[in-house]
């Protein structure tokens, strides 16, 4: 991170592809929806690049694999209702924590950082998932894709999180796996760190304009700690 910058006082952490591998859950929910619509199953490899833009786009993209845009729109309301029903039924059952997540969150807390989760996943899916995986106690606020008028990559969710923390963006770092996270953070004026193991719409993480690539949230905590020590 930039020499001479202010100390970091908070971290905004993404969920899907950053803290949890949720593609297996998406696979179950999307294929349940597709079966009801008379479509065959799709694989995790097909689903992974589609993740990150919110449930509405995920459902549309999963149908556009087979149908034209007009047919997708005609079936959309039935499809999104089916997807949500299937997802809530299995939410978290197949998803797993990435290495270093719990250790990294604890290390950030030990540094005195305030933590917020900002995801494009709907809040109704996000809150029970965080509870189930033992992540909820680390976050003072949680914002989903339906918390603001716009989703990432728009800057609005990051600006909203900073406002909730009552901190300037220059004292906040966003941590995510995709260009969505980076563009949103950059637009808000936050630092941004990226992890290399997530989804990023099927693109190499090296293409993202960030302040650094970290192997895990624990490595992110170490980098933030070093930055804050230098900023004192």
DSSP string, 46-66: HHGGGTTS-HHHHHHHHHHTT
215 catalytic? Reply is: no
What percent of the chain has pLDDT above 90? 90
Residue 61 labeled ligand binder: no
pLDDT band at 53 (very low <50, low <70, confident <90, very high): confident
- Tell me which H or E stretch contains 44: helix 44-47
Structure tokens at 211: 């302040």
Residue 16 labeled ligand binder: yes
Q: Does the pLDDT at position 1 exceed 90? A: no
Q: Does the pLDDT at position 216 exceed 70? A: yes
pTM for this entry: 0.92
CA 3 to chain centre: 27
CB-hemisphere CA count at 13 Å for 2? 12
Q: Contact, 41 vs 35, CB < 8 A?
A: yes
pLDDT computed for residue 4 by the predictor? 63
pLDDT band at 3 (very low <50, low <70, confident <90, very high): low
Q: Does the pLDDT at position 218 exceed 90? A: yes
Exposed, middle or buried, 214 (CB in 10 Å: 0-12/13-18/19+)? buried
- The residue from 14, 21, 25, 181 that is catalytic is 14
Q: How far is Cα 14 from Cα 131, in angstroms, rounded to an integer?
A: 15
pLDDT band at 52 (very low <50, low <70, confident <90, very high): confident
Looking at residues 45-52, what average pLDDT do you find? 92
């Amino acid at each position: 991170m930039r020499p001479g910058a202010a100390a970091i006082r908070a971290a905004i952490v993404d969920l899907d592809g950053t803290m949890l591998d949720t593609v297996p859950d998406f696979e179950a929910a999307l294929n349940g929806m597709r079966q009801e619509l008379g479509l065959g199953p799709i694989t995790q490899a097909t689903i992974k690049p589609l993740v990150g833009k919110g449930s509405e786009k995920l459902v549309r993209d999963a149908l556009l694999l087979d149908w034209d845009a007009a047919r997708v729109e005609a079936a959309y309301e039935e499809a999104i209702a089916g997807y949500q029903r299937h997802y809530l039924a299995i939410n978290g059952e197949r998803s797993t924590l990435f290495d270093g997540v719990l250790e990294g969150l604890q290390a950030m807390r030990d540094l005195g950082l305030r933590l917020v989760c900002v995801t494009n996943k709907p809040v109704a899916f996000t809150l029970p998932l965080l509870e189930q995986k033992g992540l909820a106690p680390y976050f003072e606020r949680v914002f989903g894709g339906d918390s603001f008028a716009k989703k990432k990559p728009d800057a609005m969710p990051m600006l909203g999180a900073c406002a909730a923390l009552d901190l300037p963006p220059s004292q906040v770092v966003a941590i995510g796996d995709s260009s969505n996270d980076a563009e949103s953070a950059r637009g808000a004026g936050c630092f941004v760190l990226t992890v290399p193991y997530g989804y990023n719409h099927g693109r190499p993480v090296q293409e993202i304009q960030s302040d650094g690539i970290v192997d895990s949230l624990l490595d992110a905590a170490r980098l933030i700690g070093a930055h804050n020590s230098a900023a004192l």
